[in-house]
Chains A and B, each alone.
Chain A
Amino acid sequence: MKVIDCPVIGTRPLSEFVYGGEVRRPPMDAAELSAVADHAFNRSGAPTLLREWWFHRPTSRWFVLERDTLSDRIERVVPPEEVAYAIPTL
């Protein structure tokens, strides 16, 4: 089983984590149907350096990790501000 270096409390087994998927941005207002469907349903499995959301259940923390999906190595912890985006409000 993989171990992940949790930024909060150090090295923990994968079973303590919830995978939150790739960091992506949803299409915003008036997006094409194809773009919406692509966001909702399609994921690329091609090996790459991927930024992913991970949730550590015991500490209830989310964080973003950059992982090489070919070697399955976690390269760095990404500050959430780096991936944050503003949502439009009324």
Chain B
Amino acid sequence: MPFRRSEAGPREWIDRSRTLSFTFEGRPCTAHPGDTITSALLASGVSLLGRSFKYHRPRGAVSLANHDVNALFATDADTNVRGDVTPVTDGMVADPVNVRGSLEKDADRHMDRFGRFLPVGFYYKAFHRPRALFPFWERIIRRRAGLGRVDTAWTPRRRAKRYGYCDVLVIGAGPAGLRAALDAADAGFDVLLADENPRIGGSLDYQWLGDAIADTQRDDLVARVLGHPGVTVQTSTVALGSYTDHWIPLAAPEGIIKVRARGVVLATGVLEQPAVFHNNDLPGVMLASGAQRLLHRFGVLPFERAVVQAANGEGLVAAEQMAAAGVTVAAVVAHGPGVTEADARRLTDAGIPVYRGWTVYAAHGSDAVSGVTIAPVDEAGNCDADSGETIHCDGVLMSVGWAPAGHLLYQSGGTFRYDDTLAMPVPADWPSTVVPAGRVNGAFTLGQQLADAGDAVRRLTAALRGEPVPPVVPQRDTVPHGSQWPIVPHPKDRNFVDFDEDLQLKDLEQAAREGFDNIELLKRFSTVGMGPSQGKHANLNAIRILARLRDQGIDATGTTTARPMYYPVRLEDLAGRRMRPERETPMQDWHRERGATFMEAGEWRRPAYYGADAASAIADEVAMVRNGVGLIDVSTLGKLEVFGPDAATLLDGAYTMRKGNIRLGLTRYALMVDDAGIIVDDGVAGRLADDHFYLSATSGHAEATYQTLTRKALEWGLDVHVVNRTGQLGALNVVGPMSRRVLEPLVDMDLSEASLPRLGICDTRVCGHWARLVRVGFVGELGYEIHATPAALTTIWHALLDAGAAHGIRPFGVEAQRVLRLEKGHIIVGQDTDGLTNPFEAAMPWAVHLKKPFFIGRPALAHLKGQEQRRLVRFVLPPDHAGPLPRECHLVIRNGDIAGRVTSIARSPTRGQPIGLAMVDRALADSDEPLTIRADDDVLVRGEMIAETFYDPDGVRQDADNPEATP
């Protein structure tokens, strides 16, 4: 039975002078500050900490190193916290996660007996037929599967994110990490040292504890690291993954730190691996290093009388430490060359019986270990069970070998190879700026670890300084540190390879027999290594098993990918704030004050309409533009200025229509397509000088158009400069039959057709400020776009409101503009076109000048001309159309099949009937059939296609010399 020593150890994490209380399964328990849930429960004599995932077998503490995934708990704050590393807090309420009822009387504990009916792959095979029954099985499986319960009353919390910068990031603060941090800092580099434990020191504080030389070195290293101005220490912090260019997220208690380092030292150490024998999962069976952590950090011993299975010197040290702490070591069983004759004699002399050439064959007990059977084993790992002996004990220590904690090195592009002496994979190759050091690199003795760290830092700092990197001075140990085959078959199985997923030796053998005999397939079929610990205690043994079955080496068998994250991460640590920059036009405050309702337009928010009631506001705004004068803020338009002798060549190459022949002072529609001939942007291009053009682009595409033009200027070797003035200039459009009358008194020029013709552009002064006037016809009335600096635009806006007051001038929003342009039949790129629409489909063949020898998309459009499968058509619904209008994206139906979709639709106040645009199959577009639209609730609405523009087909309304318009 586990217990807490009364005598405090020298480096304990707990504060024995104070006591906390918490409840476990409703029972009151006590702990000291610094205790984890596991250590506190063991200290109070509880060894049964959880039930296994599949068979609900009793499980206990194993590693105390953040990988005990069979001792998960739900607390009042969280679910699936790991008991081995989660500190107890005063008043904490903890419960086991995978039980029905209590841990001891778990209603599912009999699942273990059905184990043989649940072979590997059972779920894949069992519930396929009959298919109709699958939902029934699914409900049952879902109820049973999974660990823990999600708190549905959860409230999201924001967790801080930080960026961290350093020259050298050292991960792991054991002997190698401490040495590396010091050496790098002494060399003048800014060092960040991160360790997942709350204290630095690593194995110096348990494995090497009591070794006089190690203790002296430890005190010296820790003191110098803590006192070094060049080293920042970050404890309780897990390095989650290694991304490109030394970008490493650290999970610190307060949140994620995204660290960008110049170089990384991986002193991540090793993960002790379990032996595979019958009942190796019973509470009381522990990794030797796990028991050492338990003893030296928390003063807890996991058992009173133990059998130690050792394949290396570390196991013997653990046995001696346990014995010194008061555990009766009933026997040390050792096999393999890792324990020498001399080692054995040392223990025998100390009164500990040693069985060399023996192994643990089976553990016994129901809810905890009550004894073990040991048996002789030959060099190949074959166990002679008949000659076995049974020893009474309540615990087993396993020290049969290690696996490198090499995840970050794999992710950094490093490779590993299996070292037959050390019986573990060791780094074979790594980048010059991500270097392994210490036990992860196969340096096992303290001297080797420190020397290896020094060597690693020498190579790293040379690489960081751009100097030649000196060759590696090998520090790898030459004596065995593990068993090549720590696996013992048993007729009753229950010899677990993967504690997370309840996988036994026979499961992996069977998976391989069924043909899943590649390591990646074996993993996916059997789920080995797919549990919460991601195979940290299972992968190496699984590879060994497969290698033996296939009669091949470990390296030939390969390994699975060690993906981030190294350790489960809270989603709230990963979740970022939604970053949505918003841009504002010079008139934004004015729109707000005028009660505008805003809508999104790319990164802008534009007034949709002004006033409370959408329908009447939009109708009023439309009527005012048609009959008087309106004012709209179009500052969101892309505004690009193009200068240089090759300006015309650039625009001719970038747009579908000719630009080089635009006369000075005039503009032309500008349509841009991509290499596939798909419409990507439209706007207006105006010529201010031979070598000077001014372009507008759609609100959402301005930046992309700017990027296209600047890139093409380089690509085509042109002498041209493109300036993006989108954010620098504001713009408004004053439009309507009265617009000339309102504007003319404010401008330093005559606005007649002769002076500023239709499609004209010129620089002038408005209200005394520089401004650029463009005659545009987007909404189908006489109108003037005025581009000016933000300050000037505000002045002009207010001056226009004053000057137009007599004509009833009012601002209008995007909704009214959409109706107005629809009446004029103008498309909106992105609404009436999609990611597959070419200009011919948009019924704009006039905008494609194939006479030009080249422009972006010309090769494609040359082939697409006349080949369009669909076309944008205008349609009207009857004036007496009752009920709600069909909506954008409602389908057009022809002979029962989908034949297109509505892209724009609105009630046209001017025509007195609903009008719209639809992208329909060419056969329908070419016919004179009625258009049938399937509206909401499957109501079929009939309309008809019309050829002519809905409004003012001849454009007489846009004549500045029109008597109505003239002052």
Contact = CB atoms under 8 A, between A and B. Distances in A.
A83 B715 CA distance: 7
B247 A1 contact: yes
Contacts of A35: 859
A60 B860 CA distance: 29
Interface string A44-59: 0000000001010000
Contact of B859 (A20, A31, A86): A31
A85 B712 CA distance: 10
A80 B859 CA distance: 24
A80 to B, nearest CB: 4
B835 to A, nearest CB: 13
A33 B649 contact: no
Interface string A1-36: 111000000000110001010000011111101011
Contacts of B674: 40
Contacts of A53: 711
A85 B859 contact: no
B675 A62 contact: no
Given A2-B244, A31-B859, A80-B715, A87 B854 contact: yes
Interface string B225-263: 000000000000000000111010000000000001000
A1 B163 CA distance: 12
B707 interface: yes
Interface of B is mostly: mixed
B653 interface: yes
A29 B862 CA distance: 9
Contacts of A86: 716-717
Nearest to A30: B862
A85 B715 contact: yes
A60 B852 CA distance: 29
Interface in A36-90: 36, 39-41, 53, 55, 60, 62, 72, 80-81, 83-90
A60 B714 contact: no
Interface string B651-692: 011000010100000000000001111000000000000000
A26 B707 contact: no
Contacts of A40: 674-677, 860
Interface residues of B, number: 33
B851 interface: yes
Nearest to B715: A84
B652 A90 contact: yes
A33 B863 CA distance: 7
Contacts of B852: 89-90
B432 interface: no
Interface string B32-65: 0000000000000000000000000000000000
Nearest to B674: A40
B853 A62 contact: no
Given A1-B247, A62-B711, A90-B658, A84 B717 contact: yes
A7 to B, nearest CB: 13
Contacts of B559: none
A39 B677 CA distance: 12
B243 to A, nearest CB: 6
B863 A89 contact: no
B718 to A, nearest CB: 9
A48 B308 CA distance: 55
A3 B245 contact: yes
B853 A39 contact: no
Nearest to B244: A2
B448 interface: no
Given A27-B859, A36-B863, A40-B675, A88 B714 contact: no
Contact of B711 (A3, A39, A55): A55
A54 B774 CA distance: 34
Nearest to B717: A84
Contacts of B717: 80-81, 84-86
A87 B859 contact: no
A75 B484 CA distance: 44
A1 B245 contact: yes
B710 interface: yes
Contacts of B904: none
Most buried by B among A20, A86, A87, A90: A87
A35 B860 CA distance: 10
B635 interface: no
B461 interface: no
9 contacts: A2-B247, A26-B859, A30-B862, A39-B859, A40-B674, A72-B244, A87-B854, A89-B652, A89-B660
Q: Which 5 A-B pairs have the closest CB atoms?
A: A84-B717, A88-B853, A40-B676, A2-B244, A80-B714
